[in-house]
């Protein structure tokens, strides 16, 4: 039963195009930042489509939006499929929107095919995944997982001068037809389809990535202090140049971290010097270190490694290094039960796939703390994301939605 049930690819691609126009930019991208007027229009449109199909609509206090298709049991916790509808200011059409609209397409296909699921299946659009208008990102799923809105969030201002609590209230009020539900109501599982935002799948010509987990992320700020002095008059023996110490530290880190562990990532995205004068030896150098690893013990080891390398190289040159941790996001391991469901789905569908890790954050990172969660990736052109040129092959969007449907059927015991 239910064999060969197919999502409606044409409908999904039409919806992607329709939502890309909400906040669409001249360059073909999308500017639909969290809790903005554009975001409210997109949410209202999804609620309207839901009502057309007879699905119930809910919002929680963080304005996370839920579309519910009932199952046989009205009391068991629902199974969630979703992603987010907000975008970067110069974002693309697929980051978030694909996962949300594919989740809704699964509900519609179930409806079209008259599928009875044992429990309710819901589409969710998490609030403010991007964090570009109000920091931090992944707000909706973070609040959902912890069951509370952190006290510092409501007073946060956006760059355009709006306060989060006002924009949140206006967003909630813009959907009066949606019922309210408390934050963090129980769920029985979560599946998220997303674009890879990296180049691996495209380069290997594999249309589906089965995401086993999300790397942990740790941000460090390294400050190396030496002594500024005249570039012309100061001999080598009298120099305490913190940029020499920083250079040696980075060279040692670049040579030792990623080449020795293919799961590790080390990136220095920011570096600055003071006084930043062409003819002055710097007095101070500051740089950021972004470390990623799926294993938290390895992250600890990497942080200690950065610390000891920087301190040692600085001391050898009469400088001083200080290393401060500015951000720490532990890794997530997705649920074997759901990963098996996705593996069996691609096998049944005969689609090439590969297991992979996500290097970027996703709402699934927080869902994994409260329920079984997993993710499915599709390739994006040149690995490009957070960019108006972001592009996913239509076939890959359709395949991704099909795998999401098939995996849901498996997870619900219908395969």
Question: CB neighbours (10 Å) of residue 281?
Answer: 21
Instruction: Tell me: does residue 57 bind a second copy (CB under 8 A).
Output: no
CB of 326 to a second copy, least distance (A): 8
By CB under 8 A, tell whether 269 contacts a second copy: yes
- Residue 130 CA, chain-centre distance (Å), reads 8
* Residue number with CB closer to a second copy (56 or 229): 229
Only one of the segments 8-16, 152-160, 195-203, 342-350 lies at the binding site for a second copy (rule: CB under 8 A); that segment is 195-203
Return the CA Rg of the chain. 24
Rounded Cα–Cα distance for residues 5 and 316 (Å): 67
Contact call for residue 177 and a second copy (CB under 8 A): no
Is 251 a binding residue for a second copy by CB under 8 A? The answer is yes
Q: Do residues 6 and 109 touch, judged by C-beta distance below 8 A?
A: yes
Nearest distance in Å: CB 282, a second copy: 6
Residue 276 engages a second copy in binding (rule: CB under 8 A): yes
> Which tokens sit at 200?
């691996």
- Indicate whether 254 belongs to the interface with a second copy (CB under 8 A): yes
Site string for a second copy, 203-222 (x = CB under 8 A): x-----------x-x-x---
List the one residue from 41, 44, 49, 200 that touches a second copy (CB under 8 A).
Answer: 200
Tell which one of 197, 225, 397, 408 touches a second copy (CB under 8 A).
Answer: 197
Q: Are 303 and 325 in contact (CB under 8 A)?
A: yes
Residues 6+ apart with CB under 8 A from 367: 80, 141, 144, 145, 187, 190, 192, 373
Please identify, among the stretches 37-45, 52-60, 86-94, 260-268, the one whose residues bind a second copy according to the rule CB under 8 A: 260-268
Instruction: Single out the segment in contact with a second copy by CB under 8 A; choices: 54-62, 64-72, 176-184, 353-361.
Output: 353-361
Residue 183 contacts residue 61 (beta carbons within 8 Å): yes
Is 151 among the residues that bind a second copy (CB under 8 A)? Answer: no
> Exposed, middle or buried: residue 195 (CB in 10 Å: 0-12, 13-18, 19+)?
buried
Site string for a second copy, 277-306 (x = CB under 8 A): xxxxxx-----x-x-x--------------
Sole binder of a second copy in the list 223, 229, 349, 414 (CB under 8 A): 229
User: How many beta carbons lie within 10 A of that of residue 118, not counting itself?
Assistant: 14
- Taking the CA of residue 198 as centre, how many other CA atoms within 13 Å lie in the half-sphere pointing to its CB? 15
Q: d(Cα 24, Cα 7) in Å, to the nearest integer? A: 26
**Min CB(273)–a second copy separation in Å:** 6
The smaller minimum CB distance to a second copy, of residues 117 and 385, is found at 385
What tokens does 191 get?
């599946």
Q: Are 22 and 382 in contact (CB under 8 A)?
A: no
Structure tokens at 45: 């449109």
What residue ranges bind a second copy (CB under 8 A)? 196-200, 203, 215, 217, 219, 229-236, 238, 241, 243-244, 247-248, 250-251, 254, 258-259, 262, 265, 267-273, 275-282, 288, 290, 292, 358-361, 383, 385-386
């Amino acid at each position: 039963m239910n064999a060969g049930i197919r999502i409606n690819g044409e409908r999904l691609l039409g919806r992607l195009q329709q939502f890309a126009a909400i906040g669409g930019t001249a360059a073909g991208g999308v500017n639909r930042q969290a809790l903005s007027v554009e975001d409210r229009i997109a949410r209202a449109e999804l609620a309207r489509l839901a009502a057309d199909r007879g699905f119930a609509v809910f919002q929680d206090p963080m304005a996370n939006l839920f579309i519910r298709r009932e199952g046989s049991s009205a009391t068991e916790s629902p199974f969630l499929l979703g992603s987010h509808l907000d975008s970067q200011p110069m974002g693309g059409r697929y980051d978030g929107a694909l996962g949300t609209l594919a989740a809704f397409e699964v509900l519609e296909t179930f409806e079209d095919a008259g599928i009875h699921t044992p429990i309710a299946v819901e589409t969710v659009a998490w609030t403010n995944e991007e964090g570009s208008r109000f920091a931090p990102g992944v707000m909706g799923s973070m609040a959902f997982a912890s069951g509370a809105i952190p006290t510092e969030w409501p007073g946060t201002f956006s760059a355009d001068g709006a306060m989060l609590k006002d924009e949140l209230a206006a967003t909630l009020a813009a959907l009066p037809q949606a019922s309210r539900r408390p934050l963090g109501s129980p769920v029985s599982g979560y599946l998220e389809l997303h674009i890879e935002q990296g180049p691996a799948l495209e380069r290997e010509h594999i249309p589906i990535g089965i995401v086993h987990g999300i790397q942990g992320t740790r941000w460090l700020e390294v400050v190396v202090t030496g002594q500024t002095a005249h570039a012309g008059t100061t001999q080598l023996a009298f120099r305490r140049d913190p940029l020499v110490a920083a250079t040696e530290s980075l060279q040692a880190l670049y040579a030792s971290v990623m080449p020795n562990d293919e799961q590790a990532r080390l990136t220095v995205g920011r570096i600055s010097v003071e006084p930043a004068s062409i003819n002055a030896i710097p007095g101070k150098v500051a740089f950021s270190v972004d470390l990623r690893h799926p294993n938290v013990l390895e992250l600890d080891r990497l942080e200690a490694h950065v610390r000891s390398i920087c301190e040692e190289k600085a001391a050898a040159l009469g400088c001083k290094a200080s290393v401060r941790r500015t951000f720490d996001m532990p890794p997530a391991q997705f649920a074997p039960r759901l990963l098996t469901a996705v593996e069996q789905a691609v096998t049944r569908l005969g689609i090439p796939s590969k297991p992979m890790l996500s290097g970027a954050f996703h709402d699934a990172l927080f869902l994994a703390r409260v329920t079984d969660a997993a993710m499915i990736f599709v390739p994006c052109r040149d690995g490009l994301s957070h960019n108006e040129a972001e592009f996913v092959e239509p076939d890959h969007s359709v395949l991704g939605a099909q795998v999401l449907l098939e995996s849901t059927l498996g997870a619900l015991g219908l395969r």
